[in-house]
């Protein structure tokens, strides 16, 4: 579909059924990125990963990327003000009018509050409030460390593989496009441990926040990506969200 057709479809959805916003919560390495890509394609929603947005900014050495760099390398969260500004600018794009899927945002209570405000404003301007569905992908810490420390990302197409769980057919090459597979700098074991500690302290409280609001379902993130995706779809289906949007 041409971009302007996507935007028209997105606007049409926003006006008719209300936008759908899906949040994936879970520790770093829980499989949010892999599931988010599949789910966004399935639902026909743009996939917005704040981690990817920061990495893109960093690779282009933008002022935003350079400000985020140190925090990312240390496994710390980038300050809320920077993340919120970047996110608000992305979700105000025309392709997000029908909704979007967030991966890695919100990660703090102030970010969740900023999102709630932005959804309220979007609902007022569309005349129909957006629908919010939050899924927490649960994985024990021990498995998180094994997963993150073996993760390989294709520099060309972004496809994710794993040294142990999804080894490339040809060493160092992406199974999908043949591009170079690389480890993320922040997937080094000591940085993973730090990111997990930050997750438990700053992000895990959001699970309770959204559960109390009746918006959250938790799924078991163990098993292969296909099994986790089936659980994700079943959970959304139980909430009345279908493929191709409903
Ligand atoms: P991710 O790819 O989602 O694991 O993000 C990689 C890094 O980007 C994180 O460890 C943080 O330093 C930064 N980051 C991504 N999203 C956020 C966010 N919502 N709030 C603060 N920092 C973030």
pLDDT tens digits for 90-124?
Answer: 999 999 988 999 999 999 999 999 999 999 988 88
Q: How many CA atoms lie within 13 A of 164 on its CB side?
A: 8
184 included as an active-site residue: yes
Predicted local confidence at residue 125, as pLDDT: 80
**Is residue 246 predicted with pLDDT exceeding 50?**
no
For the entire predicted model, the pTM comes to 0.85
For residue 147, the tally of other CB atoms under 10 A from its CB is 21
How many whole angstroms from 1 Cα to the centroid of ligand 1?
31
Could you read off the pLDDT of 13-27 as tens digits, one per residue? Answer: 554 567 899 999 999
Distance linking the first and last C-alpha atoms of the chain:
20
The pLDDT of 111-140, averaged and rounded, is 91
74 included as an active-site residue: no
90 included as an active-site residue: no
What Cα–Cα distance (Å) separates residue 208 from each residue in 25, 107, 128, 212? 11, 13, 26, 6
Predicted local confidence at residue 5, as pLDDT: 59
Task: Name the residue of 23, 78, 113, 205 whose CB sits within 8 Å of the most ligand 1 atoms, as the mutation to test its pocket.
Answer: 78
Give the residue whose CA is nearest to atom 5 of ligand 1. Answer: 51
Marked catalytic residue, from 55, 97, 107, 131:
107
Predicted local confidence at residue 148, as pLDDT: 82
Among 58, 115, 121, 123, CA closest to 88 = 115
How many whole angstroms from 212 Cα to the centroid of ligand 1?
24
Position with higher pLDDT, 245 vs 26: 26
| Residue 111 near ligand 1, beta carbon < 6 Å | yes
Q: The tokens 């240390």 sit on which residue?
A: 74
131 included as an active-site residue: no
107 included as an active-site residue: yes
**Is residue 85 predicted with pLDDT exceeding 90?**
yes
What Cα–Cα distance (Å) separates residue 165 from each residue in 144, 185, 225? 13, 20, 10
Predicted local confidence at residue 149, as pLDDT: 82
Distance of CA 143 to the CA centre of its chain: 19
The pLDDT of 132-145, averaged and rounded, is 94
Could you read off the pLDDT of 29-40 as tens digits, one per residue? Answer: 899 999 999 999
């Amino acid at each position: 579909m041409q971009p302007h057709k996507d935007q028209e479809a997105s606007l049409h959805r926003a006006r008719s059924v209300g936008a759908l916003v899906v949040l994936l919560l879970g520790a770093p390495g829980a499989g949010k990125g892999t599931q988010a890509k599949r789910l966004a394609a399935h639902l026909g929603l743009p996939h917005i990963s704040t981690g990817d947005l920061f990495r893109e900014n960093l690779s282009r050495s933008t002022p935003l990327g350079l400000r985020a760099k140190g925090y990312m390398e240390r496994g710390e969260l980038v300050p809320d003000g920077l993340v919120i500004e970047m996110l608000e600018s992305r979700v105000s794009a025309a392709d997000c009018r029908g909704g979007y899927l967030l991966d890695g945002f919100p990660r703090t209570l102030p970010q969740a509050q900023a999102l709630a405000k932005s959804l309220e404003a979007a609902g007022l301007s569309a005349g129909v409030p957006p629908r919010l569905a939050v899924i927490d992908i649960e994985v024990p810490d021990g498995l998180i460390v094994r997963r993150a420390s073996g993760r390989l990302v294709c520099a060309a197409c972004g496809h994710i593989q794993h040294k142990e769980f999804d080894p490339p057919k040809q060493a160092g090459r992406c199974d999908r496009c043949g591009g170079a597979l690389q480890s993320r700098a922040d997937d080094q074991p000591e940085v993973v441990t730090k990111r997990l500690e930050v997750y438990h302290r700053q992000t895990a409280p959001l699970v309770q926040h959204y559960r109390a609001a009746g918006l959250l379902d938790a799924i078991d993130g163990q098993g292969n990506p296909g099994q986790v995706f089936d659980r994700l779809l079943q959970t959304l289906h139980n909430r009345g969200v279908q493929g191709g949007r409903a």
